[in-house]
Amino acid sequence: MKNGVFVQPVNKELKYPGFGYQCTPVFCFYHGFIPRLFSALLLFLLLLNHNFIHTFMSAVLADVVFLVDESGSISSENFKQIRSFISNIVNVLDVSSDKVRIGVVLYSDSPNVEFFLNTFFSKEEVLQQVQKLPFRGGGANTGRALDYLRTEIFQESVGSRKAQGVQQIAVVITDGISSDNVSLPAANLRRDGITIFAVGVQEADISQLRQIASHPPRKYVHKVENYLELSNVKKSLQKLLCNDILVQAFVIPKVTRLIAEGKTLSSCQLCRCEETEEADIYFLIDGSGSIYPQDFLDMKKFIIAMTKMFRIGKEEVRIGVVQYSLTTRLEFSVAQYGTAKEITIAVKNIAQLGGGTETGAALKSMENHFREAARTRQAKVPQFLITITDGKSDDSVVEAANSLRSMGVLTYAVGIRDADMAEIEQIAGVPERMFYVNNFDSLKQIKDEVVRKICSKEGKFRLSDSIQALGTELCKGRPTRKGKIQ
C-alpha cells in the first residue's frame, strides 16, 4: 500500500498454477489415445528437459496485440522504456504468419493502429517497427481504445485467427487514469475470448487495472512505480504469456472435445468421491436490479459450465437453483432433473427477477429446500450451497448462514464487483470457501477452483493423483520439485 493505493508486487518466481480441472483433461488425452509408455516419457521430458520445452513452445499459436497509452502524462523519454519493454516481450515469442502474430495500437484521446496482426510476419520486421513507434501525447480514453481492439483489431479481415481457435491476447500498458469507463469495454473484449494483461506504471489506477484485466488479478495485473521498473515485470509477463498460449493450444481443445463428446470430467475419473459419488448442490443466485442482463447471462453460463464438471444423475450429483432479490423463487429443485442436458435447458430459461437484495431471507429459505432434498435421498449425502451476489444485502446474513451450517450444509460464497467482502465471508463461514471476481464475465475463470474446493476432503470428495502430476506450468524454465520455475 502506497499513498492509499495497493501496488501489485512483481512476481519474481512463478509457482505451478494448479490448473485442477481446467488442465487435467490432458491426462485423459494421454491415456486414452497415446500408449501409456509414450505419455510417461513425454511428461518426463516436459518436466525436466529445458530444450524440449523450448522446442515445444515454438510450435504454439497466438495473436498478441499491445495496446499502449501514449497520452501526455508519458514523456518521450519514458516512451522509450515502453518500446524496450515491448521488444523484450516480442523477443521470446516465435513470430511468424503461422505461429505468433503481433499487432500494436497506440491510444490517447483516440486509438491509432500502428500495425495489424497481418502486417508483419517476421520478428525482425516487428522489432524494427516497435522502435519506430511515435509518441503523440493527448488525453487517455482507455475504454474507447478497448472497444477499438474488439471491433477493429481482433477481426479476421486484419489477421485475427480467433475463428480458428487461436489464442487471442491483449497487453494493455497505461500510466494514468482513463477519462472514460473501462469496465464494460473490457468485459465485452473478454467475452469475445480475448485474454487481457494490464500493466500499470506510475499513476495508473489499480482499480481500473483490475477492471481491465482477466481473472485472477494476481496473474493478469502488474503495477510498477516507474518506467525503469518495467524491466522487472518483463520476465514475469514473458512466462505468463507463454503459459497462457500453451494452455489454449494444448489443454482447452481437449476440454472442448471431451464436452462435445458428452463426457464430464468425472467420467475421466479426474474427480471422485471418497465414499460415494452422490451430492446435492444448490446455487442461490442474486437476481436484483443492480445486475445487468448480460451479467445475469454470465451467471447462468457459470452454472451450466459447473454442471458439466459433475456426473449428474438422480442417484449421483444433483443440482438445483434458487433465485432471489426482495423475494425468493425456486427455479428448480435438486430432485427435478436427472441429466446435465435437462439442467442446462432449465438454467437457460431462468428469467431475472429484478428489485432489491435480501440475501439473509434467501439463505433462510434454503433450509426447507435442503430438508426436502434429504427426504428424497435413501441415505445422507454431502450438501452444498453456492451463493452468488454482486452487492451488499439489505438484511443480515449471519444467522441464516450459521443455521445452514448447523444443518451440515457447506456454504460457499462468490462475490462480484461491489459485493461486501465481510458479508461474503459471513455467508461462506471461512475464507477458504469465499471467492471474488471483479466482473461477471470472470466467473468462468473460477469454476475450476470452486469445483476443486467442493471436491475436497471437506466435502468427502477427493482429487485423482493425476491432477497433482499434471498441474504444471510449461513455460521457459525448468520446474523443480517444489513447483517453482527456475
Give me the pLDDT at residue 57, please.
41
Give me the pLDDT at residue 173, please.
92
Give me the pLDDT at residue 422, please.
93
Give me the pLDDT at residue 92, please.
84
Give me the pLDDT at residue 346, please.
97
Q: Within a 13 Å sphere around the CA of 473, how many CA atoms are in the beta-carbon half?
A: 26
Give me the pLDDT at residue 25, please.
43
Of 205, 153, 215, nearest in space to 181 by CA: 205
How many Cβ atoms from other residues are within 10 Å of residue 112's Cβ? 16
Give me the pLDDT at residue 1, please.
43
Give me the pLDDT at residue 399, please.
96
Q: Which three cell numbers stand for residue 259?
A: 464436452
Give me the pLDDT at residue 249, please.
52
Of 442, 451, 394, 396, nearest in space to 415 by CA: 442
105, 130 Cβ separation under 8 angstroms: no
434, 401 Cβ separation under 8 angstroms: no
Give me the pLDDT at residue 153, please.
96
Give me the pLDDT at residue 239, please.
67
What would the CATH number be for the domain defined by 271-463?
A: 3.40.50.410
Rounded Cα distance between 201 and 221, Å, is 11
How many Cβ atoms from other residues are within 10 Å of residue 252's Cβ? 15
Residue ranges covered by each domain of the chain? 25-255, 271-463
Give me the pLDDT at residue 241, please.
67
Residue range 59-106, pLDDT digits in tens: 378 899 999 999 878 877 888 888 988 998 898 888 999 999 999 999
| Topology classification of domain 25-255 | Rossmann fold (3.40.50)
Query: Cis bond leading into 216, ω under 30°?
Result: yes
Sites in the chain below the pLDDT cut of 50: 1-59, 250-260, 262-276, 457-486
Residue range 406-418, pLDDT digits in tens: 999 999 999 998 8
Of 342, 280, 268, 365, nearest in space to 309 by CA: 268
Same fold, 25-255 and 271-463: yes
Q: Which three cell numbers stand for residue 390?
A: 454482486
